[in-house]
Structure 1
Amino acid sequence: MATPDNPIQHNAHWQAQRPELINAYGELTALIEANASSQDLLDAYLRMKRLSASVFQSLLLASIPDHGAAWVAVRQSVEQRMQEKYAGLLPEWALKVPYGSAVHKQLFCILIDRQGAPVPGDYLRIVTADAVHAERRVRELRELGLDVIAAKASGNDTYSLDSARVNLAVVPTIVVNTVRANKKITEEERKRLQAIAEEGR
């Protein structure tokens, strides 16, 4: 399996799987032309769909420009503001910056590379091979303070990002949500910590 930030491995996977993908499309086409049974058609379609999702994911990941430094800067700016506002007032676990997965970074890199231009939701779903809700991950980038603009174009969902600037006013909300999500603390402790976090709003 290619690692999230290894375009060479992703490209190698794309190249290696192309013949199998061609065969899968050919098999499905042949079955359609032969007026095969519904079950045979559906089985071939699902195989082709799963393979396509994986192979085209590799093709896209191999082509995503590396904006890792900008992504690190985004997260560091949020972390710094958290520390400025809450260090010594809240436990460290409450001051962890969320949404740091490889998928979040990959989506950020696509959006910042196409800065200011709408990116179709269908395109972003290729990143996750349709296995994870890509639009939800994009909305989480907005929750992180990035100005992700959702819009419609020809009836389809699109997302655009004008810059890597972060709206740090969202930091208290991030911290409140982190506190609320912790199921290991008592309700009394949750309310106490939440009250402290909300004071920063």
Structure 2
Amino acid sequence: MAGKDPEREWEHLRPDALLAIRGLADSLEAGDLPAQELLDLYVYSKRVVAEVMGARFDMEFPGMSPEFHRLREELSEAMVSRYGDSVPAAYLAVPYGSKVHEKLFHILLQRFNTEVPAELLRVPTRDSVHTERRVRELRELGLDIDTKKLSGIDTYKLCSLSLDFSVIPKIIFNTARDKKHPLMPRVKLEEILQSG
């Protein structure tokens, strides 16, 4: 939903979400809908509610997280400092800088050192099944994000704002692999990363 006005989207989607929720509640109360129709209604309601709540989140999101960008810059500087003279510059790019990554980081930062249910992290992504993967990618950047199950619920907790720079060789190797190692032979890159 990039480029849309979140407030306008919220106002536009809210009536549909209310109707969907009421329809689902009425159908559950009556208990007489065939299973497939009830499931279809549930899936529709879930999608509409995910859209409206995503718009509501976007109304409060400041547009950017300065801390997210500061940490990415810190990681970039460390990568260049350690490997700038020995690895192609294209391999020194810091990955995972999408708006979704930034929003997820923002939620974790707002609730710093507190368990955040995975369901809450799905709000800005409109209930995307890839939300948990995006959080794992934040961990791959060296962020200290703890995961655990509490009462059967998956949670994530941002425990520190200090980056673990030991992930740098893996970041560089994965970037080179994604580019199919065109700028440096894989064996040579592995040698450099293991000795660095």
Provide the TM-score with structure 1 as the length reference: 0.86
Distance in 1 of aligned mates of 2:54 and 2:61: 11
Q: Would you say the 8 A contact 1:65–1:110 is kept in 2?
A: no
Quote the residue 1:86 is aligned against. 83
For residue 68 of structure 1, the aligned residue among 62, 65, 70 is: 65
Give SS of 1:166's match. Answer: coil
Give SS of 1:157's match. Answer: strand
Q: Would you say the 8 A contact 1:61–1:127 is kept in 2?
A: yes
Count how many residue pairs are aligned between Structure 1 and Structure 2: 195
1:21 aligns with 2:22: no
Q: CA deviation at 1:66?
A: 5.8
Unaligned runs of 5+ in 1: none
Q: Deviations over 1:13-39 (max 9, x none)?
A: 122211111111222334442612333
Q: Would you say the 8 A contact 1:53–1:126 is kept in 2?
A: yes
| Aligned ranges 1:118-129 → 2 under 5 Å | 118-129=115-126
Identity across matched positions, percent: 38
Quote the residue 2:130 is aligned against. 133
Q: Deviations over 1:130-181 (max 9, x none)?
A: 2242111111111101111112221211111133221222212211222233
Q: Would you say the 8 A contact 1:56–1:126 is kept in 2?
A: yes
Q: What amino acid is the match of 2:104?
A: L
For residue 194 of structure 2, the aligned residue among 175, 198, 201 is: 198
Quote the residue 1:59 is aligned against. 56
Q: CA RMSD in A?
A: 2.2
Distance in 2 of aligned mates of 1:94 and 1:74: 18
Quote the residue 2:158 is aligned against. 161
Change (3 A) 1:139 1:34: closer
Unaligned runs of 5+ in 2: none
Q: CA deviation at 1:194?
A: 2.4
Provide the TM-score with structure 2 as the length reference: 0.88
Distance in 2 of aligned mates of 1:34 and 1:177: 52
